[in-house]
């Protein structure tokens, strides 16, 4: 009997535990459901607006307060310009792949001032100089980091020369790091792999640059960049679609100082050409240049074939051949 009573007491103790676990699970599910509010329960609208002053989630259609008292993840301070933001911020720069150590190491500033902004005495400047020198040395500890440091600085130089945005620099750095991890650099020049990674990143982000443009700012030939690009894209499994002529139109129009109307007309011509498969098997830059040449004539902002050829990096003969094909197949009447 005593044993049976003990078993019953143990069961009584276990039941509340199970209930508590069920209650916690339900509360967790409820919390997850609250985070996933995507439509108004009153009118079914998906136009929900966060009011950060009142910490409320409000429906933009009927005005119902869907949620309240949510946590603001931003800083507790306010800043009205860049200087104030930098002074009040308590964190460093975000992590980046464009630096060999991802920006996680420290740097000793070149200015001879302490944390209070006061000038450092001449007695301690020699020591600070030595510290600065050794800090630079220990940031690069082995051959791999030395390789990355050189390659990423080369990538940054080429991207700056081509005027490429930040996201392309980050993508190209990631592609290069993958190539290093898979040991694809062995037997190839660092400059060649870096240039190929930049070319791949441009195509991935829909901001294409030709191999000739990459070769102009790099220290290797066009042939080597093309060969290395094909190798790393095959080894890393980069699925890149063929470049569309439409991607080149905004840049070429900007280089020729043409209006938005000309750009829109050129894009329309290229879409019609793509439907009739006139762009397949032809260089995208030549087709884009021909479409811009036709649209500039149609919109009354004529540019010569030589001007268009210089901006697009193709010959005048290519533009002549392509624009005749487009005009003939699309029934566009051009009065020269």
- Strands in 48-51's sheet, in edge-to-edge order, are 48-51, 56-59, 65-68
The predicted pLDDT at position 35 comes to 52
**Cβ-contact 45, 62 below 8 angstroms:** yes
99-127 pLDDT, tens digit per residue, is: 888 878 777 777 888 777 788 888 888 88
**Cβ-contact 292, 253 below 8 angstroms:** yes
Binding residues, as ranges, are 40, 43, 59, 62
| Fold entry, domain 245-330 | Cyclin A; domain 1 (1.10.472)
273-303 pLDDT, tens digit per residue, is: 988 888 888 889 999 999 999 999 988 888 9
| Parallel, antiparallel or unpaired: strands 48-51 and 56-59 | antiparallel
H/E stretch holding 170: helix 166-181
Binding residues for Zn(2+), as ranges, are 40, 43, 59, 62
Give the confidence band of 9 by pLDDT, cuts at 50, 70, 90. Answer: low
| Fold entry, domain 37-94 | N-terminal domain of TfIIb (2.20.25)
Please enumerate in sequence order all residues whose Cβ is within 8 A of that of 32, keeping only pairs 6 or more positions apart, or say none: none
Please state the domain extents for the chain. Answer: 37-94, 143-236, 245-330
Are 143-236 and 245-330 the same fold in CATH?
yes
208-230 pLDDT, tens digit per residue, is: 898 999 999 998 999 999 999 99
So what CATH class is 143-236?
mainly alpha
């Amino acid at each position: 009997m005593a044993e049976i009573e003990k078993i019953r007491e143990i069961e009584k103790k276990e039941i509340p535990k199970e209930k508590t676990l069920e209650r916690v699970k339900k509360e967790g599910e409820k919390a997850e459901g609250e985070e996933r509010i995507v439509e108004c329960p009153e009118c079914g609208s998906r136009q929900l607006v966060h009011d950060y002053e009142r910490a409320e989630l409000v429906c933009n259609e009927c005005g119902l307060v869907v949620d309240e008292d949510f946590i603001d993840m931003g800083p507790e301070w306010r800043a009205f310009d860049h200087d104030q933001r930098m002074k009040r911020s308590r964190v460093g720069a975000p992590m980046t792949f464009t630096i060999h150590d991802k920006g996680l190491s420290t740097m000793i500033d070149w200015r001879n001032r302490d944390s209070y902004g006061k000038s450092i005495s001449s007695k301690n400047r020699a020591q600070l100089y030595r510290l600065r020198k050794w800090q630079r040395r220990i940031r690069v500890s082995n051959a791999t980091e030395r390789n990355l440091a050189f390659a990423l600085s080369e990538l940054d130089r080429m991207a700056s020369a081509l005027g490429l945005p930040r996201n392309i620099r980050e993508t190209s750095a990631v592609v290069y790091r993958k190539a290093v991890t898979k040991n694809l650099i062995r037997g190839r020049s660092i400059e060649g792999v870096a240039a190929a990674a930049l070319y791949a990143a441009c195509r991935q982000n829909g901001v294409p640059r030709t191999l000739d443009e990459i070769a102009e700012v790099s220290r290797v030939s066009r042939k080597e960049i093309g060969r290395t690009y094909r190798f790393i894209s095959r080894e890393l499994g980069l699925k890149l679609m063929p470049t569309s002529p439409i991607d080149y139109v905004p840049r070429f129009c900007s280089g020729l100082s043409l209006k938005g109307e000309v750009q829109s007309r050129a894009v329309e011509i290229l879409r019609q050409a793509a439907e009739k498969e006139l762009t397949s098997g032809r260089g995208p830059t030549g087709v884009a240049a021909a479409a811009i040449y036709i649209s500039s004539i149609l919109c009354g902002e004529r540019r010569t074939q030589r001007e268009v050829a210089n901006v697009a990096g193709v010959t005048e003969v290519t533009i002549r051949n392509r624009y005749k094909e487009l005009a003939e197949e699309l029934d566009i009447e051009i009065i020269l």
